[in-house]
């Protein structure tokens, strides 16, 4: 039977990356997506902006919405301090299966918890299920029309604290207009746009970094 793109991406990692070396896993995926098949990873250009925000925030608890094949999960986890943890939500079980194997190849299983299911159902359960108090960093990279409702849900569930950082992918392409309008106009956020390009292309895209003011 025909393989899927995530399966081919995983094979490229297993063929070209060194076990236990997260940066080689990131490199192998970027090479695969540039030379063989485009895939919706945050990519190398926006990935550098992600790296700089993670390094600046130095988060202990991270929530990622939208795991896909685990590219940004590995990228973030490789920069975290020893006891820090990422909870990453993925709706598609096939993607989650591939992501777990990519994460294992990078040797980062201990820092990452892949949770399957819709964000709208899991966010209200974060405290009781995972003992989370608040998130220091949230990386939004899932359905673009869920960014705003899930941000409001995070607020309502008390999962954000003064200084929590929201970092959103794809605010231009495919675009998240209602989310952008909210974080840029709400008195509860201080927002900043990092102009870049859609992964592996020349199209404009960017990341929006928003600090929750409490």
Ligand X SMILES: O=C(NCCCCc1cc2ccncc2s1)c1cc(-c2ccc(F)cc2)cc(O)c1O
Q: Is 56 a catalytic residue?
A: no
Q: Is 141 a catalytic residue?
A: yes
Tell which one of 169, 171, 180, 205 touches Mg ion (CB under 5 A). Answer: 169
Q: Which of Mg ion, ligand X, none does residue 119 bind to, with CB < 5 to 8 Å depending on kind?
A: ligand X
Tell me which stretch binds Mg ion (CB under 5 A): 9-17, 86-94, 146-154, 167-175. 167-175
Q: Is 144 a catalytic residue?
A: yes
Which residues are near ligand X by CB under 6 A?
A: 40, 65-66, 89-91, 118-119, 141-143, 146, 169-170, 173-174, 198-199
Q: How far apart are CA 106 and CA 98, in angstroms?
A: 13
Q: Which helix (H) or strand (E) holds 161?
A: strand 160-168
Q: Is 67 among the residues that bind Mg ion (CB under 5 A)?
A: no
Q: How far apart are CA 37 and CA 21, in angstroms?
A: 23
Q: Which of Mg ion, ligand X, none does residue 6 bind to, with CB < 5 to 8 Å depending on kind?
A: none
Q: How far apart are CA 30 and CA 71, in angstroms?
A: 9
Measured from the Cβ of residue 20, the count of other Cβ atoms closer than 10 Å reads 12
Q: What would the DSSP string read from start to end of 93-126?
A: HHHHHHHHHHHHHHT-GGGEEEEES-HHHHGGGH
Q: Which helix (H) or strand (E) holds 209?
A: strand 204-212
Shortest distance, CB of residue 187 to ligand X, whole angstroms? 28
Shortest distance, CB of residue 83 to ligand X, whole angstroms? 25
- With respect to Mg ion, which residue has the nearer C-beta, 64 or 169? 169
Residue 53: which of 168, 132, 173, 150 has the closest Cα?
Answer: 168
Q: Is 156 a catalytic residue?
A: no
Residues that bind Mg ion (rule: CB under 5 A) add up to a total of: 3
- 68: helix, strand or coil: coil
Shortest distance, CB of residue 145 to ligand X, whole angstroms? 10
Q: Is 170 among the residues that bind Mg ion (CB under 5 A)?
A: yes
Residue 137: which of 82, 200, 79 has the closest Cα?
Answer: 79
- With respect to ligand X, which residue has the nearer C-beta, 107 or 118? 118
Q: Is 205 a catalytic residue?
A: no
Catalytic residue among 170, 205, 208, 209: 170
Catalytic residue among 44, 46, 64, 144: 144
Supply the residues annotated as catalytic: 141, 144, 169-170, 199
């Amino acid at each position: 039977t025909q393989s899927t793109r995530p399966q081919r991406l995983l094979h490229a990692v297993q063929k070209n990356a060194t076990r236990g070396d997260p940066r080689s896993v990131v490199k192998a995926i970027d090479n695969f997506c540039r030379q063989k098949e485009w895939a919706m990873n945050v990519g190398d250009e926006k990935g550098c902006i992600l790296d700089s925000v993670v390094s600046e925030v130095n988060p202990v608890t991270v929530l990622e919405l939208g795991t896909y094949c685990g590219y940004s999960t590995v990228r973030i986890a490789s920069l975290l301090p020893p006891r820090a943890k990422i909870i990453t939500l993925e709706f598609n079980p096939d993607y989650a299966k591939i992501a777990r194997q990519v994460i294992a190849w990078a040797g980062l299983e201990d820092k990452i918890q892949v949770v399957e299911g819709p964000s709208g159902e899991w966010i209200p359960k974060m405290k009781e299920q995972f003992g989370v108090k608040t998130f220091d960093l949230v990386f939004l990279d899932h359905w673009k029309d869920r960014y705003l409702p899930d941000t409001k849900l995070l607020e309502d569930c008390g999962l954000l604290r003064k200084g929590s950082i929201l970092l959103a992918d794809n605010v231009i392409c495919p675009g998240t207009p209602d989310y952008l309008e909210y974080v840029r106009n709400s008195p509860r956020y201080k927002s900043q746009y990092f102009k870049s390009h859609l992964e592996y292309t020349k199209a404009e895209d960017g990341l929006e970094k928003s600090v929750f003011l409490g």
